[in-house]
Amino acid sequence: MSAEIDYRKLGLKCGLEIHQQLDSKEKLFCHCPTVLRDTSESNVEFFRYMRATESEMGEKDRAAVEQLKINRRYIYKGYDTTCLVEYDEEPPSELNPEALEIALTVAKLLGMQPVDQLHVMRKIVVDGSNTSGFQRTAFLANAGVIPTSEVDVGVDVLCLEEEASQKLEDAGDTIIYSLDRLGIPLVEIGTAPDIISPSHARETAEKIGMLLRSTGRVKRGLGTIRQDVNISIAEGARVEIKGVQALDMIETIVEREVERQVNLLKIRSELLSRNASVVDEIFDVTDIFKDTESKVIKKSLKKGKVYAVLLRGFDGLVGREVQPGRRLGTEFSDRAKTSGVGGIFHTDELPKYGITQKEVDALRDTVGAKEGDAVAFVADRKERAYGAMESVLIRAKQALEFVPEETRRALPDGNSAYMRPLPGASRMYPETDVPPIDISKEYYESIAIPELLTEKCARFVQEYGLNEELAEKIVYSQYLPLFEELMEKFNGNAMITPTLVSRILTGMIPELRRDGVETDKLTDSHFMNVFDAVAKGKAAKEGIGEMLRMFAEKPGESLESILKSLGFTGVDVSEIEEFSEKIVAERADFVSEKGLGAVGPLMGIVMGQFRGKADGKLVSEVLKKKIDTFLNSK
């Protein structure tokens, strides 16, 4: 869609749900550490099956019911850092007070009003990501606001809840999860539907992200923060798009969902103008394909069936694009996949995939398709194929009536795919194993508001003399706490300047990572040792990269051993003077011609001899003096 589209005219309503992991020492309902593990370290494994339970009103959540159309087996990997609470073999402990304090700090930054008493609820989740079949969550605060350049955005909800397990592998009938992430505390922040454009959505998400990072107590890195986007337009429907991890994708996600709903409404109008309808029957068309050359169908027919549905008046519209590269037929296929099939075929895209025109004609004759009609069909095991066609019938009927409310997953290109229906109120019920917690006015008022990152950035420019770009880079990097610790330790040391430290942390480390160095193995103590060596003259700043590279390769090595291995044992000034004098003499003609302009070209030669052993500034001064002496002696 055009970037100049009038989103107000379309009636865009948009809100965000931000899920941010908190950096507490322990998990939310047990004393296990909040560390992620390598799956090769797993020492426990078990499996479960899930089923949907009824709410207190005797109802089953519609999203849970659809999730269980396939009877999946869920395998869980545990570690020596997980316990019986994660395995759902032991009741939860009381809610982690450190996590509560961090969450209240976030609430205060958002100007929210906390509840007087915190109650934990159970939220039904039967995708296997929670061993218990539910997620523990607690409504903590409301009535907040985020000022933006467009309009103020309300913050309706802040919940404190436990993180889900991490999915390792999805094999269809079996899904494998890792339990190291399960139970890590996180906050869920839900805005009001006050966002008025895609760019406004991004700005709002950036503001919330800045406030969260300003606490200094949230986890950083891929997967530690996720954005869900709720979007609707006039005559459309509320759709929740889950799992947007990159901020720069939020604009595209909103644009593409608006485009999808606009196109679905256009398709509906055209279907109605054609008097289109859906024949409420599923046809067995297996015999038509008994001699097919289609590899997909041939493989399925070994143990399966081919079922079809007739869509009157849908010809040409099943293949109509609703998002770039995705069509109405893709929407049908997404629904069919909830029954376990790999996808569907439809006549708008045939003949193709080894399916001949003769087979298409026979298919149309068998189901009674006329000109202007479309046929959708699937080949798979009998139960799966029949369930898939039932889902296609439901979605095709919706195409005639409305844009369906649903939960969708964000795709890497900015599009989205169907996951399940929007959940209802019947998915929530009280948690009886965790006692309520009183939150007094005095306690809430005692929580200190941290310095905002925007304020910190301005302070770094003023206090440390960093330019704005470098100050912003270090403030928003994962190394901010380390930078502040280094500045405190080496305050006043001429060798360890704020500019040097920030450039190493935000420039050199990414370069080393691109070169294949496992920089994640570098600890704060490694950086401390390296900068300490430079501060004390044991190594030059030019050797910082080599020292960090070796620490990453050998994390357990001592500084002395690293310096010895690299030959960074220090150098006397007289050695630099002697070597510089020798180089100037060897290149006398060049020096005579260039004068002091020879300093730059000769620096590379001298630094090659003393790199890591002597500071570049010192080498430059010595070389300049030797050249000056040579020129004056002529």
DSSP assignment of 566-579: HT-----HHHHHHH
Residue with tokens 């990414």: 510
Alpha-carbon gap, residue 228 to 214, rounded angstroms? 21
The tokens for 217 are 């107590």
Q: What are phi and psi of 600, to 5 degrees?
A: -60, -55
Q: What is the pLDDT of residue 220?
A: 85
- By the 8 A CB rule, do 400 and 278 touch? yes
Query: What type of residue sits at position 584?
Result: V
Kindly state the helix (H) or strand (E) to which residue 278 belongs, with its residue range: strand 277-278
The radius of gyration of the chain's CA atoms, rounded to the nearest angstrom, is: 32
The tokens for 388 are 């898939």
Residue numbers in the chain where pLDDT is lower than 50: 2
Alpha-carbon gap, residue 29 to 17, rounded angstroms? 23
Q: Among positive and negative, which fits the CA dihedral 245, 103, 24, 524? A: positive
Taking each helix axis as running N to C, give the angle between helix 198-214 and helix 97-109, from 0 to 180 degrees, rounded to the nearest 10.
Answer: 130
The strand pairing partners of 625, in sequence order, are none
Q: Measured at the alpha carbon of residue 343, what is the angle toward residues 332 and 397, in degrees to the nearest 5?
A: 15
- Of 269, 287, 338, nearest to 66 by C-alpha is 338
Inter-CA distances, 430 with 51, 120, 125, 426, 427, Å? 19, 7, 14, 11, 11
The tens digit of pLDDT for each residue in 385-410 reads 999 999 999 999 999 999 999 999 99
Alpha-carbon gap, residue 480 to 290, rounded angstroms? 65
Q: What is the pLDDT of residue 392?
A: 98
- Of 453, 504, 455, nearest to 482 by C-alpha is 504
Write down the pTM of the prediction: 0.81
Residue with tokens 């379309």: 10
Alpha-carbon gap, residue 83 to 372, rounded angstroms? 60
Peptide bond into 351 cis (omega under 30): yes
DSSP 8-state secondary structure symbol assigned to residue 247 = G
Q: Among positive and negative, which fits the CA dihedral 311, 317, 319, 322? A: negative
- By the 8 A CB rule, do 140 and 480 touch? no
Q: What is the pLDDT of residue 2?
A: 46
Inter-CA distances, 382 with 15, 23, 334, 387, 530, Å? 41, 48, 18, 8, 65
Query: What type of residue sits at position 374?
Result: A
- Of 252, 215, 258, nearest to 234 by C-alpha is 258
DSSP 8-state secondary structure symbol assigned to residue 117 = E
State the Cα torsion 242-248-253-258 to the nearest 10°: 140
Q: What is the pLDDT of residue 626?
A: 73
CA-based end-to-end distance of the chain: 74
Alpha-carbon gap, residue 449 to 101, rounded angstroms? 12
Write b or e for each residue in 624-634: b if 16 or more Cβ atoms lie within 10 A of its Cβ, otherwise e.
bebbeebeeee
Neighbour tally for 303: CB within 10 Å: 9
Q: Among positive and negative, which fits the CA dihedral 37, 41, 42, 43? A: negative
